[in-house]
Amino acid sequence: MSTSLLGALEAARIVDLAQPLREGMPCSPTHPGFHLALTRRHGDTARPDGMTGSHELLVLGGHVGTHMDALAHVAVDGRFHGGTPVTVRDGRYASHGIDEVAPMVCRGVLIDVPARRGVDRLPPGDPVTTADLRDADVRPGDVVLIRTGWAQLWHDRDAYVGTDSGVPGLAADGARQLAAAGVRAVGADTIALEHIPAGAGLARLPVHRILLQDNGINLIEVMNLEPLARTGATEFVFVGAPLPVVGATGAPIRPLALVEPRV
């Protein structure tokens, strides 16, 4: 590794953009939640030298916690992005799975919508439109992260999921604008990334169709963008790689932002 690259990495602040995985955390009602069970505890058995080992079983849906949506998450009329027919082999999708997503080390852009509007958090069911994206320095290949402030409600499961109240998020016109800019992925701090009107639930997800199906752009959902917003950075190095679960429609990801140190 070159000295200059190593020096740059050592100087950067690393901001964790993932929510912690724990029992009872918010998740979409259409997905199985997170469960952890200790299958072997310290003391169950012991080696002759007194050392013990412990391990656990994890059970969770591919779209629970901070995760990335694969292109296989959405199909229209039996076809994935690019017109590929939906095909299942050995109980998993034969193409467009999350294992096909390459690790991402690229330019990231934070669009802090509450800061732009002068509020702490967007209200329930509030759309993020092209007006909120105006003047954002978005370039081809970027990962664009949209902060709504909704991560502030992470410890209130019902409020975060917003079944009755709705959830703020990206509207269809904003999704089309980002797709036209050639972004690599779009992330947000909400349960489904896109605008969910009050009482509408997940009956219609136009942004998922625009980004995943129409344009082949991955989504990252349930992010914690509060620490990144506090740095004041709007441009950073984004690092993220979903678990390569073969043929899966989504998988956990632990995204990171590498931010320039304060002067």
pLDDT tens, 161-194?
998 899 999 999 999 999 999 999 999 999 999 9
Give the pLDDT of residue 213. Answer: 97
d(CA 196, CA 198): 7
* pLDDT surpassing 70 at residue 104: yes
Cβ(138)–Cβ(181) below 8 Å: yes
**Mean pLDDT, range 208-215, rounded to an integer:** 98
Which uninterrupted H or E stretch holds 4?
A: helix 3-11
Q: Is residue 36 included in any domain, yes or no?
A: no
pLDDT value at position 261?
79
Report if residue 33 sits inside a domain: no
Contacts for 173 with CB less than 8 Å, ≥ 6 apart? 129, 130
Please tell me the predicted confidence (pLDDT) of residue 46. 86
Residue 10 has pLDDT above 90, yes or no: no
pLDDT at 203 over 90: no
Domain span including residue 134? 3-17+62-259
Residue 263 has pLDDT above 80, yes or no: no
- Asked if 203 and 170 touch (Cβ cutoff 8 Å), the reply is no
In contact, 148 and 169? CB cutoff 8 Å: yes
Tell me: pLDDT of 1 over 70. Answer: no
Q: Determine, yes or no, domain membership for 39.
A: no
- How many other CB atoms are found less than 10 A from the CB of residue 240? 25
Q: Is the pLDDT of residue 111 over 60?
A: yes
243 within domain boundaries:
yes
Q: What is the mean pLDDT of residues 73-99?
A: 97
Whether the predicted pLDDT of 76 surpasses 90: yes
Q: Is residue 44 part of a domain?
A: no
CA separation, residue 206 to residues 54, 55, 70, 170, 209 (Å) = 45, 41, 16, 10, 5
Task: Answer whether residue 10 is part of any domain.
Answer: yes
Residue 164 CB coordination number (10 Å): 12
DSSP 79: B
- The answer to whether residue 144 sits within a structural domain is yes
Residue 104 near residue 143, CB atoms below 8 Å: yes
Residue 228: CB atoms within 10 Å:
26
Mean pLDDT across the chain: 94
55 inside domain: no
Residue 2 has a pLDDT of 60
Query: What's the pLDDT band for 93 if we cut at 50, 70, 90?
Result: very high
Number of independent structural domains in the chain? 1
Tokens 């690599």: give the residue.
184
> What is the average pLDDT across 221-246?
98
Among candidate residues 159, 170, 176, 173, the one with its CA nearest the CA of residue 196: 170
Residue 3's pLDDT is 64
CATH number reported for the structural domain that contains residue 117 in this entry: 3.50.30.50
Burial of 58-97, coded b for 16+ CB within 10 Å and e otherwise, reads: eebbbbbbbbbbbbbbbbeeeebbeeeeeeeeeeebebbb
